[in-house]
Structure 1
């Protein structure tokens, strides 16, 4: 087993995951609550340009996935773009990527937990959300292999529910493909904002990269797993979007509070609505499981470099997981789930994740052909796309996201200054 530089042999995670496990973890991150919730606000922003926005989000996601896969194969250690930015661009950029990921995805964890609560018991959403966080943190604590097995079950259930929605809508007597083009006038600003919102539902393939230290044969497994997971997700999302639009149209979809439930009712299959609600809750649980898994691994990597408390770098001697990082992440997410609003969490998370991938694309640009550099246009399109989608998000999300990134950069500068003064 290869030991990452500077990491004690006893603190290395075990490589247990194959291609199938890695693909399932990626699917569990992407095919989650986003598809049940993101279509309505995206339709409100893009109107009849919803499918164009989905295509834009898919292109940006593909470029990000390709860059991430090449970098993960080169640096198969926990941490994802935190590691890539540090190794290719310098310590600050790696830190900024890690900071954006941990803070943004912690907010995303809270959003997914609140989604579970909203679908399971709306009147007690915060209490259910906290219980979900505690339960899934315990699952992750017991070992990554168990997490992968649970995620496999969740993905199968969600895919079955989404397939039922697609079949019910497309075979309905009320289905009309003319509705695909009906709706408000399309603007590029609206399309970009919708793409940014839809990107939230795609942003899960990084979970595969952040598990680089636990994947068998990472130089082969990760570049295969990421595109496979993304490709499956793109097909699923496009199928669901087309099916829902054929029965609701952009205007009705934009006003829907539970888009997929409303779609099956409009298709005359109201009996499926409870199943869809259950599927949404299961999907959110799958996303939350994978999110906690990924955030804890980036926390581990940053703690190893002392950008976060070094105590969080401990690996459990029996379960071989970063147990202190997982408990810390679970605690923070539980507090957020008890106190925050889901919409604010999603907007902030999207901004942080897009900045994270922007740094990944710049890092991929610096790879040489011998290091597996992607085709030159890939990181360029990925970088431009990330920045365009990030700043097309609602102004409140951009302002909050920029402020938190600036706070992290300031903390980094202070730490560097203090460290320099302590040196003889």
Structure 2
């Protein structure tokens, strides 16, 4: 595929994936889990994300191909682990796409019934799939505009929360009752917000000078997102407190509306919509590229590996992902989708860290502590998620393992000497 993205555009793609999801979707369920320990959970999620980002950046520089950890696992650990990573990424991030589409509809039409919101979400998915179909450069420019708008709106949120007269320092200091398990669960849910930097790695075949661009773009995007998350989390906690934040369906709008700057609430709603659109745009982009890579290697139907002769994008994979997401938005719950996505993507990054552990010094190996902490952190946060998310995620991953086993049995029988059609 055509290499068109530089460092700035790659950073914007990563930010477009992270900021919309993190700020507008994950804080409320995380506050429900951690209570006064929300900021501790955010710090834990940031540490795990940093380790994952470092491991992914080193691997992406060595293997600048579409597919991300699907490629790294296959090359470093074996075909099964690459396949499992790719399967986890596709199912987890497809759930993320559905969550973001529902977030768009919820902020656009806060008082509408679910069927109306689902219909709006489907329209948004179709529109963004058409945009991606036309070529990645157009997607990158749209994402750039969306990220700028979102950052401006979030700056208004922070100012309004502290200038509106409702902010309380005691809300931010974690002195209340919270449990270790609740903090770890919150960290797992907040990891959903940090996972967007993977979009940069999955675009390995469309980035200029990937050996230099990807290792630069990933930590830059993650660092910017962390600063934004910390500022907004402190502002929302200070304005609402952990209990009201946990109960809010639109936490940032509620934080602004609680003070004297309530006139900014409609602006926040518009900003949330724009941010979620940006996140969805980059998510669909990344899922379609991993689908393309797995189809190219024979793990998914071959038609999904087709590249458009004019636009040079995997157009069949993009359309397939768009159709699946459009179906899911009428079937899933937003908070459940976040938990399910976090579980699958944490497994994906556990494989990335295991792959990074195998790197030699001459291959750009990170400090040994990085993949160790990243692998252990991913596994701990995955099992700390809500039970329903763990069970659903485990079931879907086992389904993927079953598909792998069946394919291997069929292929071995077909390739056996003397075997022929029945």
TM-score range, shorter chain: over 0.9
Q: Which residue of 2 aligns with 1:308?
A: 300
User: Secondary structure of 1:31's partner?
Assistant: helix
Among residues 104, 114, 117, which one is paired with 1:116 in the alignment?
A: 104
User: Secondary structure of 1:203's partner?
Assistant: helix
1:325 CA drift (Å): 0.6
Among residues 237, 246, 249, which one is paired with 1:254 in the alignment?
A: 246
In 2: Cα distance, 1:200 partner to 1:303 partner = 26
Query: Conserved in 1, the CA contact under 8 Å of 2:164 and 2:256?
Result: no
User: Secondary structure of 2:330's partner?
Assistant: helix
1:183 CA drift (Å): 6.5
2:225 is the alignment partner of 1:237: no
1:330 CA drift (Å): 0.7
Among residues 305, 317, 326, which one is paired with 2:318 in the alignment?
A: 326
Query: Conserved in 2, the CA contact under 8 Å of 1:144 and 1:321?
Result: yes
Q: Which residue of 2 aligns with 1:347?
A: 339
List per-residue Cα deviations over 1:100-136 (Å, max 9, x = no partner): 0011111111111111111112331100000000000
Among residues 34, 37, 52, which one is paired with 2:40 in the alignment?
A: 52
List per-residue Cα deviations over 1:305-350 (Å, max 9, x = no partner): 1100011111011000000110111111111113332222222111
Q: Which residue of 1 aligns with 2:401?
A: 409
2:153 is the alignment partner of 1:161: yes
Stretch moving more, 76-85 or 341-350:
341-350
Query: Conserved in 2, the CA contact under 8 Å of 1:126 and 1:339?
Result: no
2:264 is the alignment partner of 1:276: no
In 1: Cα distance, 2:77 partner to 2:28 partner = 38
Q: Give the TM-score of the pair, scaled to structure 2.
A: 0.96
Q: Which residue of 1 aligns with 2:8?
A: 20
- RMSD between aligned alpha carbons? 1.1
2:216 is the alignment partner of 1:228: no
Among residues 168, 176, 180, which one is paired with 1:188 in the alignment?
A: 180
In 1: Cα distance, 2:322 partner to 2:247 partner = 34
In 1: Cα distance, 2:117 partner to 2:84 partner = 33
Q: Which residue of 1 aligns with 2:380?
A: 388
Q: Which residue of 1 aligns with 2:30?
A: 42
User: Secondary structure of 1:77's partner?
Assistant: coil
In 2: Cα distance, 1:181 partner to 1:125 partner = 37
Q: Which residue of 2 aligns with 1:152?
A: 144
Stretch moving more, 338-347 or 279-288:
338-347
Runs of 4+ in 1 over 3 A off after TM superposition: none
2:74 is the alignment partner of 1:104: no
Q: How does 1:4-15 map to 2 (within 5 A)?
A: 13-15=1-3
Q: Which runs of 5+ in 2 are unaligned?
A: 418-422
Q: Which residue of 2 aligns with 1:79?
A: 67
1:182 CA drift (Å): 6.0
List per-residue Cα deviations over 1:168-208 (Å, max 9, x = no partner): 11233332212212664121111100101111111100000
Query: Conserved in 1, the CA contact under 8 Å of 2:284 and 2:318?
Result: yes
Query: Conserved in 1, the CA contact under 8 Å of 2:30 and 2:38?
Result: yes
Q: How does 1:336-375 map to 2 (within 5 A)?
A: 336-375=328-367
In 1: Cα distance, 2:167 partner to 2:308 partner = 54
2:120 is the alignment partner of 1:132: no
1:301 CA drift (Å): 0.4
Stretch moving more, 167-176 or 134-143:
167-176
Q: Which runs of 5+ in 1 are unaligned?
A: 1-12
In 2: Cα distance, 1:96 partner to 1:238 partner = 33
1:23 CA drift (Å): 0.1
User: Secondary structure of 1:45's partner?
Assistant: helix
List per-residue Cα deviations over 1:6-43 (Å, max 9, x = no partner): xxxxxxx0100000000000000000133112212211
In 1: Cα distance, 2:248 partner to 2:335 partner = 15
Q: Which residue of 1 aligns with 2:414?
A: 422
Aligned residues: 412
2:279 is the alignment partner of 1:287: yes
In 1: Cα distance, 2:41 partner to 2:339 partner = 17
In 2: Cα distance, 1:241 partner to 1:113 partner = 23
In 1: Cα distance, 2:332 partner to 2:36 partner = 32
List per-residue Cα deviations over 1:28-82 (Å, max 9, x = no partner): 0000133112212211211111111100000000000000000000000000000
In 1: Cα distance, 2:331 partner to 2:375 partner = 34
In 2: Cα distance, 1:74 partner to 1:82 partner = 14
List per-residue Cα deviations over 1:257-281 (Å, max 9, x = no partner): 2111111112221111111111111
User: Secondary structure of 2:196's partner?
Assistant: coil
In 1: Cα distance, 2:216 partner to 2:174 partner = 39
